[in-house]
Amino acid sequence: MTPDVIFSADDFGLTRSVNEAVELAHRRGRLTQASLMVAAPEAADAIARAHLLPNLKTGLHLVLVDGDSLLGHARLPNITTPDGKFGRNQTSLGFQYFICPAARRELKAEIRAQFTAYAASGLKLHHADAHKHMHLHPTVAAMMISIGKEFGLARIRVPAEPPKILKACGEKITFSDRALYVWTKRLRAQSARAGLAATDHVFGIKWSGHMTAPRIRTLLQNLPAGTSEIYFHPATNRNASLKALMPDYEHEVELQALLQDDLPNC
């Protein structure tokens, strides 16, 4: 089977520079898919741009950690900070989603609110995934899938990055890499039971924020059979907001990687 590759971007709507990069990479590069943060500061700008890009497939980038909530702290007192943001500690939030009924009720309300906001944008829901892959949490996944299907959800991202491919690309494989890959099988089973589509493989986890041109070239030369998604975090410039949120990411480098016109064929 010949490898089939999708180039996608996360954090659409986070900043104006991210939105500019998504549009540029779609118009002049290989980007065909983007995931929208509906509660992010520049979501309205992202939506307006997407409406002018009919061939860009957009989906919901569900934010339930390290980002803005839609409902705010008054509605989500157990799972957000007073400024209405989700904390950065995924482990702590994950435990709350498991053991606290009030937290789960708030989680469900926020997930529904984000799907509702996406529907109100007028954009077709091509897919859904979650910021920092929070949908690997079984509770989050179950809610995302059940609520998402009410809004026409047909496909999700299963962030399964094969360690053997990373090894072939010259990376040292850790226990965490292997454990995460095994854990993704649960999400794949959940999505399959719900009749949702997903690519066979996803790349961008090990090199998150550092998907450089040389790495893409190496990866494309070692892609496994089946369908693969390679996701990016592009931006036209690293403003103060991006530097604070992702201090070590190479947003501009990732954009330039997407704009290459001489990548090897898969």
> What pLDDT, on the 0 to 100 scale, is given for residue 3?
65
> What pLDDT, on the 0 to 100 scale, is given for residue 29?
84
Q: How many angstroms separate the CA atoms of 86 and 69, rounded?
A: 7
Task: Give Cα 50 distance to the centre of its chain.
Answer: 17
> What pLDDT, on the 0 to 100 scale, is given for residue 204?
96
264 in any annotated domain: no
213 in any annotated domain: yes
Could you give the number of structural domains in the chain?
Answer: 1
List the CATH number of the domain containing 164: 3.20.20.370
Whether 109 contacts 101, CB under 8 Å: no
> What pLDDT, on the 0 to 100 scale, is given for residue 263?
60
- C-alpha distances in angstroms, 77 versus 49, 72, 73, 99, 102? 33, 8, 5, 16, 9
146 in any annotated domain: no
Of 151, 83, 77, 143, which Cα lies nearest the Cα of 115?
Answer: 151
148 in any annotated domain: no
The angle at the Cα of 166, spanning 258 to 264, to the nearest 5 degrees, equals 40
87 in any annotated domain: no
Domain region containing 246: 4-59+121-138+155-258
Residuewise pLDDT in 10s, the chain (266 residues) = 446 999 999 999 999 999 999 999 999 989 999 999 999 999 999 999 999 999 999 999 999 999 999 999 999 999 999 999 999 999 999 999 999 999 999 999 999 999 999 999 999 999 999 999 999 999 999 999 999 999 999 999 999 999 999 999 999 999 999 999 999 999 999 999 999 999 999 999 999 999 999 999 999 999 999 999 999 999 999 988 899 999 999 999 999 999 987 665 44
133 in any annotated domain: yes
> What pLDDT, on the 0 to 100 scale, is given for residue 5?
94
Q: How many angstroms separate the CA atoms of 252 and 212, rounded?
A: 10
254 in any annotated domain: yes
10 in any annotated domain: yes
Q: How many angstroms separate the CA atoms of 199 and 221, rounded?
A: 18
Whether 59 contacts 126, CB under 8 Å: yes
